[in-house]
Chain A
Amino acid sequence: MTLQISWALLLPALIPVAAMLLVLVVDAVVPRASLAAPVIGALGLLGGAVAAVPGLDAGDPRLTLCTPAPDGRCMWDGSPLASTLQIAALLATLGVLALMSWRKAGVVDVVMLLASASGAVAVVAATDLGTWLIALELATLPVIALVAWRDRRAAAHGALTLLTTSLVSFGLLVLGAALWVTATGDPTLTGPSLATAWAVPEQRVLASLATVVLIAGLAFKISAVPFHAWTPTTLTSGPLPISALLASASKIAAVGALLVVLAPYESVLDLSPGPHTVVAALVIVTVASMLTGTVMALRQTEVVRLLAWSTIAQAGWVLLPLTALSVAGRQAAAIYVLVYAVASLVAFAAVRAIHGQHVEDGRELTAYKGLLRRDPIAGGTLAVALLVLAGLPPGIIGLVAKVMTIRPVVDAGLWPVAVVAVVAAVLGIAVYVRWFAVMFGDPDASAPKRPGRRRASVAVAVAGTAVLVVTSVLPQVLLGLVS
């Protein structure tokens, strides 16, 4: 059996992999060239992003890794939606690389980042369960090492939590994949095969169960309640750039993976009986995440912990439009995760620029008093990010994303979920405005000292803020990318 391969479509994943190999080779040949690894890594990430750009406005289907006709199945779909998520994941990883200072980013860090990025790129485009599983693990497992790699005991603790979680998650995913193949007899995640299976009651139940188990496994990666327990521990104990990675690129990868799993359900949406079990599972996870994450974030006084709980709440928002199981719902989820990833990357970069890289005391909300006067650039970018997360003008893109997530839910007739979302949105405003409000006023003497090397963090924060501002002014730019 020969595969039809279109290399151009695979380039976004291949370039980071090639860069990873190159880093290792260069390190073996010239061990002293300490700057080589970050530079090659950055170029690899950038090259991957550039290679994904043609996919943004492709009219024809961009399928590859296909088995021969007549029974042709493709394992790679570089659709505009997937290309957008790929670019976002690669650029977010690049931002994280910038947040680690150039000198400190050693070979191991860069290799891990590149591995994670190539996994993220692959998982959003994969349509068969094998590629999908491997790519997903490639996207998440290196992060565990990054958390534990060069830090203190607390980080090891966080890494252990993440590792336990990942193992259980992997187990669930494998179980789900096996159930899926059993139910549909097809290792690819495609609509027609699901529709065929749906006609038989036993297979239908099995397919539903497979999807629920896959959702449970992915819920760990997305850190949705009740699979979220690792998130606050890991995010607060690891280095800040890795926390930013977990909140941005990893999140994009996990959501992309979920989009792939839910894509086939479009073809059974109108059948009778419909996929009620899947919807119920998604609704439970969504509602629990939004409410738990928000009320917990309301109680936090330590900013990274607050951001961690806000990640959980925002995971609920990402899942919200998926409960409709429609195309519009998947597009809305993609938009929301993009906006969220950029905003949280900006927030973490600003926090990094204010406090430095390490876990320290004093990352309390009170340390942000008068930040807008004391440090207008970091304070201003952080303010924009918080407004976007809260969905308040002038962070219009946050509001647009929230409205877009609620619309498919309403169209699908899931009114109670929409009402919960509105309640969560109101509470969420309180979460971010609590922080936002502290930044006004006069700075006092207890303000933390500005860290020495922070140019890269400020640059990441400013670039991300520019994206947020531009999309706030012209939301159609972002909306056009995924449709």
Chain B
Amino acid sequence: MSALWVSSLLVLIPVLAALLTLGLRRTPHLAARVASGAAIVSVVVGIIGMAVAPTRNQRTAQPSDTFHVGDLEMPLALGSGPTTAAVAAIVALVAAVVLVFTQWYLDDDDRLAQFAATVSLFTAAMMLVVHARDLVLTLIGWEVMGWCSYLLIGHWSRKESARRAAYKSFIVTRVADIGFVLGIVGLSAGAGSTGLDAVVSHWTGEGGAVPEPWTRSVLLALVVIGVLGKSAQFPFQDWLPDAMEGPTPASALIHAATMVAAGTVVLAQLFPVLVLADGARWLLGIAVAMTMVGAAALALGQSDLKRLLAWSTVSQVAIMLSALATATEAIGPDPGLFHLWSHAIFKSLLFLTIGWLSVVAGSTLAMALRGSGHVHQLALVAWLFGLLALAGAPFVVGGLSKEHVIVTAYEGAIGSGGPGVVVLAALLVTVVLTAAYATRAYLVVAAPDGERSVSTRSHAVGDETAAHELDETAVLEEQHDHSGMPSAPVLASLALLTVLTVVGGLVMLTGLFNLHRASMWWMLLTALLIGIGAGVVWLARGYGDPRNAFVRTVRQRTLADNGFGFDTAYRRLVAGPVLWLARIVEFLDREVVDGYVRGAAASAGIAGWLTDRGHRREAPSAGVGLVALGLIVAAGTAVLTWR
């Protein structure tokens, strides 16, 4: 099987699975099983794809008939490459695991089949973005993902908060997509082709004519704006924590491998252009630097562990993007993609684990989850290794990739004029904060068993419940009458992800990612910073939840839970002015434009009345009178023309 076959199959299998699943929606369990089966086939194809992946510098693309739309070429080709194969394989794996988990988690849900179909379609869209060698295909995948994420987040549409979260994610990402679409259109129009290779060679100046640097920066900045929206980066970050209203498997999929990571994939494809566009790199660098620190700080302050994971995703995606913002041309985009790879593994592990724990505890609130890890040895181990990777502990998969990102930022800081210094500083601060919130998350879940009942009761009337009155598990509680033990396939999946979290770094040996050596000094420094972050939280463990040592007042907690009040800011700064503008336009339309229309109607009416007056007597006499008038006109013409 050639690499091109693999790329076509990986896009087609989930599409077919989605259609088939939707067709079988009357038998939801069968439908979910079909979706999972197709996803597992995708995993096998993805692993084959890694084996047959083309080697470096040998990018392949489908030879296909080029469509011509006016002066624009449209190859509409898929392609493959070494990193493409690795990312596609991990997307397939996460999707399969999520579907297996969904079968258990949403066992009693009446719309299980629709959910599975949406997950499959979502996967197909991500696969399309990963394999696209044509910006039009990228755009299609990008938009389908936006639509599917809306459906997944709003799955429990009976809940008001879920509907609002779905709208919010849709609208926020859509606003950012304005930039993305404009950027794509500009890049394609400049190159005269939507083919990725043509676009890259045009805008890097390989084709001969060197493009205007200013235009290149503006267009790339527009693409970056779209990426910031989809990846929930500042200032669009606030939709992602709200998206926790969706079922946990949906969160795992969105966070781990698809939607938020899509921006990294697209920018990696455009990397040769991005590295030349300094304006876009500065925009990206500043945005991600602010995001990674702010999101990590917010993660530390969350009262809800699922939202903690959401903020950690925002922070980790910022780390991926920071590698793209700072990498020099020699380093290339692969450190960022490697972090995407490892993040997909450990973040899906963490989300699925917390999904399991929330079923056990009946909530995702930290105080409810206290000590819940003791339900099963595997849960505790999975949680521990997931958090170790999140914190970036040496040698687990997250540690290795984060190390490469830091080295990339360092090289960028000393080697090029990009935003390397700012990003490097932010990265180091983030390492400390990440270690701190990861430690906190572990301490809460792994608290001694005896404390659990006490803490749940004592906090039942506490100040923290206000943040989340309507919790997703309230829906689940009615559905799960079992003891909270997942099925064997789910346990096997979790075990697989845990193993991969530990040994996933071995993918470096395959050479699929083009990585340079990480320096031992940086590794030591990072370990030290992790130690500081973890140690501070460890010392604060006496507070019950270590968070309470950092956010002490109710006001601070509310601020943290609300993500620094960005939702209010969106409403005040964006929604408010837009509505205000809409009212002005409506007023102008009603009072000015409609005024002309009413005036026209009135003048037509007056003209009609006047004409009517002239036709009151429609007798033969009037007819003859008008004939006479016509004769006078004709005679007048004759006199005038007779010279």
Binding site for B on A (CB under 8 A): 160-161, 164-165, 168, 172, 201, 205, 208-209, 212-213, 216, 219-220, 226-230, 232-233, 277, 280-281, 284, 291-292, 294-296, 298-299, 426-427, 430
Set of chain A residues within 8 Å of B604, measured between Cβ atoms: 294-295, 298, 427, 430
Between A and B, 27 residue pairs with Cβ closer than 8 Å are A161-B618, A161-B620, A164-B620, A164-B627, A165-B627, A168-B627, A201-B643, A205-B641, A209-B637, A209-B638, A212-B634, A212-B638, A213-B634, A220-B627, A226-B629, A226-B633, A227-B627, A229-B615, A229-B623, A229-B627, A233-B619, A277-B637, A277-B640, A291-B607, A294-B604, A295-B607, A296-B611
Set of chain A residues within 8 Å of B609, measured between Cβ atoms: 299
Is B205 an interface residue, CB under 8 A from the partner? no
Set of chain A residues within 8 Å of B642, measured between Cβ atoms: 205, 209
**CA A226 to CA B624, docked complex, whole Å:** 11
Set of chain B residues within 8 Å of A229, measured between Cβ atoms: 615, 618, 622-623, 625-627
B345-363 contacts to A, CB under 8 A, are none
Set of chain B residues within 8 Å of A205, measured between Cβ atoms: 641-643
Looking across the interface, which residue of chain A has its beta carbon closest to that of B609?
A299
Contact A299 B626 (CB under 8 A): no
**CA A280 to CA B618, docked complex, whole Å:** 28
Q: How far is the CB of B625 from chain A (nearest CB, A)?
A: 8
Contact B637 A299 (CB under 8 A): no
Contact A212 B623 (CB under 8 A): no
Can you list, as one digit per residue, whether each of B306-336 has a CB less than 8 Å from chain A (1) or not (0)? 0000000000000000000000000000000
Is B605 an interface residue, CB under 8 A from the partner? yes
Set of chain B residues within 8 Å of A280, measured between Cβ atoms: 637
Is B630 an interface residue, CB under 8 A from the partner? yes
Knowing A230-B623, A233-B618 touch, does A295 contact B611 (C-beta < 8 A)?
A: yes
Set of chain A residues within 8 Å of B608, measured between Cβ atoms: 295-296, 298-299
Contact B634 A299 (CB under 8 A): no
Looking across the interface, which residue of chain A has its beta carbon closest to that of B626?
A229
Is B481 an interface residue, CB under 8 A from the partner? no
> Contact partner of A292 among B600, B611, B618, B623, CB < 8 A?
B611
Set of chain B residues within 8 Å of A277, measured between Cβ atoms: 637, 640-641
Q: How far is the CB of B409 from chain A (nearest CB, A)?
A: 58
Looking across the interface, which residue of chain B has its beta carbon closest to that of A227?
B630
Q: How far is the CB of A153 from chain B (nearest CB, A)?
A: 14
Q: How far is the CB of B332 from chain A (nearest CB, A)?
A: 53
Set of chain A residues within 8 Å of B600, measured between Cβ atoms: 426
Set of chain A residues within 8 Å of B640, measured between Cβ atoms: 277
Contact B643 A212 (CB under 8 A): no
Knowing A212-B638, A227-B627, A281-B637 touch, does A298 contact B618 (C-beta < 8 A)?
A: no
Q: Per DSSP, are chain A's interface residues mostly helix, strand or loop, or mixed?
A: helix
Binding site for A on B (CB under 8 A): 600-601, 604-605, 607-609, 611-612, 615, 618-620, 622-627, 629-631, 633-634, 637-638, 640-643
Interface centre among B619, B620, B622, B624 (most CB of A within 10 A): B620
Q: How far is the CB of A422 from chain B (nearest CB, A)?
A: 12
**CA A164 to CA B609, docked complex, whole Å:** 27
Q: How far is the CB of B642 from chain A (nearest CB, A)?
A: 6
Set of chain B residues within 8 Å of A295, measured between Cβ atoms: 604, 607-608, 611
Looking across the interface, which residue of chain A has its beta carbon closest to that of B638?
A209
> Contact partner of B620 among A160, A208, A216, A296, CB < 8 A?
A160
Set of chain B residues within 8 Å of A227, measured between Cβ atoms: 626-627, 630
**CA A292 to CA B614, docked complex, whole Å:** 11
Contact B623 A209 (CB under 8 A): no
Interface centre among A160, A226, A281, A291 (most CB of B within 10 A): A226
Q: How far is the CB of B622 from chain A (nearest CB, A)?
A: 6
Q: How far is the CB of B314 from chain A (nearest CB, A)?
A: 48
Q: How far is the CB of B423 from chain A (nearest CB, A)?
A: 55
Set of chain A residues within 8 Å of B618, measured between Cβ atoms: 161, 229, 232-233
**CA A294 to CA B605, docked complex, whole Å:** 11
Q: How far is the CB of A277 from chain B (nearest CB, A)?
A: 5
Knowing A295-B604, A295-B611, A296-B611 touch, does A219 contact B620 (C-beta < 8 A)?
A: no
Set of chain A residues within 8 Å of B622, measured between Cβ atoms: 229
Looking across the interface, which residue of chain A has its beta carbon closest to that of B623?
A229
Set of chain B residues within 8 Å of A299, measured between Cβ atoms: 605, 608-609, 612
3 residue pairs, one from A and one from B, having the closest CB atoms: A295-B608, A229-B623, A299-B608
Looking across the interface, which residue of chain B has its beta carbon closest to that of A281?
B637
Set of chain B residues within 8 Å of A172, measured between Cβ atoms: 631, 634
Q: How far is the CB of A159 from chain B (nearest CB, A)?
A: 10
**CA A296 to CA B634, docked complex, whole Å:** 24
**CA A131 to CA B609, docked complex, whole Å:** 43
Set of chain B residues within 8 Å of A160, measured between Cβ atoms: 620
Set of chain B residues within 8 Å of A298, measured between Cβ atoms: 604-605, 608
Set of chain A residues within 8 Å of B615, measured between Cβ atoms: 229, 232, 296
> Contact partner of A209 among B612, B624, B641, CB < 8 A?
B641
Contact B634 A216 (CB under 8 A): yes
Set of chain B residues within 8 Å of A427, measured between Cβ atoms: 604
Kindly list 11 other residue pairs between chains A and B, CB separation below 8 angstroms, not including A209-B638, A299-B605, A430-B601: A164-B623, A164-B624, A212-B638, A226-B630, A229-B626, A230-B623, A277-B641, A281-B634, A295-B611, A296-B608, A296-B612
Set of chain B residues within 8 Å of A296, measured between Cβ atoms: 608, 611-612, 615
Q: How far is the CB of A258 from chain B (nearest CB, A)?
A: 15
Q: How far is the CB of A96 from chain B (nearest CB, A)?
A: 24
Looking across the interface, which residue of chain A has its beta carbon closest to that of B614?
A292
Q: How far is the CB of B121 from chain A (nearest CB, A)?
A: 34
Knowing A212-B638, A296-B608 touch, does A168 contact B624 (C-beta < 8 A)?
A: yes
Q: How far is the CB of B197 from chain A (nearest CB, A)?
A: 41
Set of chain A residues within 8 Å of B624, measured between Cβ atoms: 164, 168
> Contact partner of B626 among A213, A226, A284, CB < 8 A?
A226
Q: How far is the CB of B494 from chain A (nearest CB, A)?
A: 58
Contact B612 A219 (CB under 8 A): no
Q: How far is the CB of A130 from chain B (nearest CB, A)?
A: 22
**CA A72 to CA B375, docked complex, whole Å:** 112
Q: How far is the CB of A54 from chain B (nearest CB, A)?
A: 40
Q: How far is the CB of B207 from chain A (nearest CB, A)?
A: 41
**CA A209 to CA B639, docked complex, whole Å:** 9
> Contact partner of B637 among A212, A233, A294, CB < 8 A?
A212
Set of chain B residues within 8 Å of A208, measured between Cβ atoms: 641
Looking across the interface, which residue of chain B has its beta carbon closest to that of A165?
B623
Set of chain B residues within 8 Å of A168, measured between Cβ atoms: 624, 627
**CA A213 to CA B632, docked complex, whole Å:** 11
**CA A430 to CA B615, docked complex, whole Å:** 21
**CA A160 to CA B620, docked complex, whole Å:** 7
Interface centre among B622, B623, B642 (most CB of A within 10 A): B623
Contact B623 A216 (CB under 8 A): no
**CA A239 to CA B419, docked complex, whole Å:** 87
Looking across the interface, which residue of chain B has its beta carbon closest to that of A202?
B642
**CA A169 to CA B618, docked complex, whole Å:** 18
Set of chain A residues within 8 Å of B630, measured between Cβ atoms: 216, 219, 226-227
Q: How far is the CB of A265 from chain B (nearest CB, A)?
A: 15
**CA A168 to CA B604, docked complex, whole Å:** 32
Q: How far is the CB of B598 from chain A (nearest CB, A)?
A: 12
Q: How far is the CB of B437 from chain A (nearest CB, A)?
A: 59
Q: How far is the CB of B315 from chain A (nearest CB, A)?
A: 53
Set of chain A residues within 8 Å of B625, measured between Cβ atoms: 229
**CA A164 to CA B637, docked complex, whole Å:** 24
Q: How far is the CB of B34 from chain A (nearest CB, A)?
A: 42
> Contact partner of A161 among B623, B629, B634, CB < 8 A?
B623
Set of chain A residues within 8 Å of B623, measured between Cβ atoms: 161, 164-165, 229-230, 233
Set of chain A residues within 8 Å of B605, measured between Cβ atoms: 298-299
Q: How far is the CB of B193 from chain A (nearest CB, A)?
A: 33
Set of chain A residues within 8 Å of B601, measured between Cβ atoms: 430
**CA A294 to CA B611, docked complex, whole Å:** 10
Q: How far is the CB of A323 from chain B (nearest CB, A)?
A: 15
Interface centre among B604, B609, B625 (most CB of A within 10 A): B604
Q: How far is the CB of B628 from chain A (nearest CB, A)?
A: 9
**CA A284 to CA B640, docked complex, whole Å:** 15
Q: How far is the CB of B638 from chain A (nearest CB, A)?
A: 5
